[in-house]
Chain A
Amino acid sequence: MSAETAVVEEVKEKKSEPLFSKKNQKLMSNPLDIDNPITVQVLGICSALAVTTQMKPAFVMSLGLTIVTASSNVAISMMRNTIPSRIRIIVQLAVVSLWVILVDQVLKAYVYDVSKQLSVFVGLIITNCIVMGRLEAFAMGNKPWPSFLDGLGNGLGYGMILMTLAVVRELFGAGSLWGFKVFATLGIPYQGNGLMLLPAGACILLGVIIWVQRTMNGYRESH
């Protein structure tokens, strides 16, 4: 979790605000582009690199993280006025691990093979910086509904980058998409690129994605 996110972004609200006002729509759409959790806020990198060799685990992981972020954002936001600030980290961790245990048990029950493939990374959603970062930066200072949208938006922003990485890595690394052999079906002889399947390849690829995204949206960073 980077120290910058500790600044609470307060969103002022009026009483009779419609559910999908402009401001609330922004909460959903910003994380997809100019405020993306991975490429701009630099949160949740560990799992983004580790689970993206194939599309299926990447999809399950994004789904799990979106659920955990949105629901723990709501839970913490409801409790925000009663949590003493000295022990807030451990309270947040307890709430997050509750949701992660639920997700883990559901995965083990219904998609056991994917759950085996994700191994420790489901558990690591607890320490996924996106969850903690959004709790610290947003849910501690905002009402449940905007917090829910913020969690959902950030989960989707994370999922977007994850799926992009997974499509490129699976297509060029193993020559398949969602387990379906693309190149073999088309009759094109293709030798899988081993670099794409290595974590190193994912890192370089993510660097390139950031480059492309920042060229398009004009976000710049001084050294």
Chain B
Amino acid sequence: MENIINIGVRSIFIDNMIFAYFLGMCSFLAISKKVKTAFGLGIAVIFVIGITVPINWLIQNYLLVPGSFAFLGPEFAEIDLGFLQFIVFISVIAAMTQLTEMAVEKFSPALYGTLGIFLPLIAVNCSVLGAALFMVGRPYNLAEATTFGLGSGIGWMLAIVALAGVREKMKYSNVPAPLRGLGITFILVGLMSLGFLSFLGFSL
């Protein structure tokens, strides 16, 4: 149990998807102009990462590991499908995103109205595929992988809402013209990331 809490806290604050790994930056920068939409996208990302990481964990450990077809007979024991990893993972993510979109549209039209356009964009959010690939590289069990997925999603949401809050206030400040928009946003993200570095001091 303690281990699970550790992984959760670690993935939200210390190994934050945005401020430590810089994954999912494209939508992070494009959709962080307003707090409300940023929050909606954040919720959708938590949902998709939280579902796809455990599914990809199952696929990785039961289908893609060398020798995972040994139960079919000794002649299958040599099969190693590891090279299919990318295409399988991205297919799962694209399919889950599509399913999520359909489910949300059917059961909660109000939520669909607010999230609508952002849902398909999640399929190409680097943080979702990134979380799946990090999960493979670390010795997690299913519960830990799920916690890691949810934690990464929550960390991502935290970051985008925080940036949107700052950018809303940026409207009132006098930034040099060539630096306006993207330039100052990058510098802001850099400073926020320095702030998040202080979490590195936590020993878990």
Contact = CB atoms under 8 A, between A and B. Distances in A.
A222 interface: yes
B25 interface: yes
B91 A210 contact: no
A147 interface: no
A202 B86 CA distance: 27
A100 B178 contact: no
B122 to A, nearest CB: 10
A129 B127 CA distance: 12
B26 A207 contact: no
Given A45-B29, A222-B181, A127 B126 contact: yes
A42 interface: yes
A210 B90 contact: no
A11 interface: no
A2 interface: yes
Interface residues of A, number: 49
Contact of A127 (B125, B171, B181): B125
B182 to A, nearest CB: 6
Interface string B10-31: 0000000001111111110110
B109 interface: no
Interface string B61-91: 0000000000000000000000101110011
B58 interface: no
A22 interface: no
B30 A3 contact: yes
A46 interface: yes
A176 interface: no
B186 interface: yes
A131 B36 CA distance: 29
A124 B26 contact: no
Interface in B159-179: 170-171, 176-179
Given A46-B25, A129-B124, A207-B183, A98 B87 contact: yes
Nearest to B85: A123
Given A2-B26, A97-B87, A222-B180, A204 B197 contact: no
Interface in A110-168: 119-120, 123-124, 126-129, 132
Interface of B: 19-27, 29-30, 83, 85-87, 90-91, 94-95, 98, 117, 120-121, 123-126, 128-130, 133-134, 137, 170-171, 176-187, 189-191, 193-194, 197
22 contacts: A1-B30, A2-B26, A3-B121, A42-B182, A46-B25, A49-B22, A97-B86, A97-B87, A120-B134, A120-B137, A124-B129, A126-B129, A127-B90, A129-B124, A132-B124, A200-B191, A200-B194, A204-B191, A207-B183, A214-B178, A214-B183, A221-B182
For the complex of A and B, 8 pairs with smallest distance between CB atoms: A221-B181, A203-B190, A207-B186, A204-B190, A214-B178, A45-B25, A207-B187, A2-B30
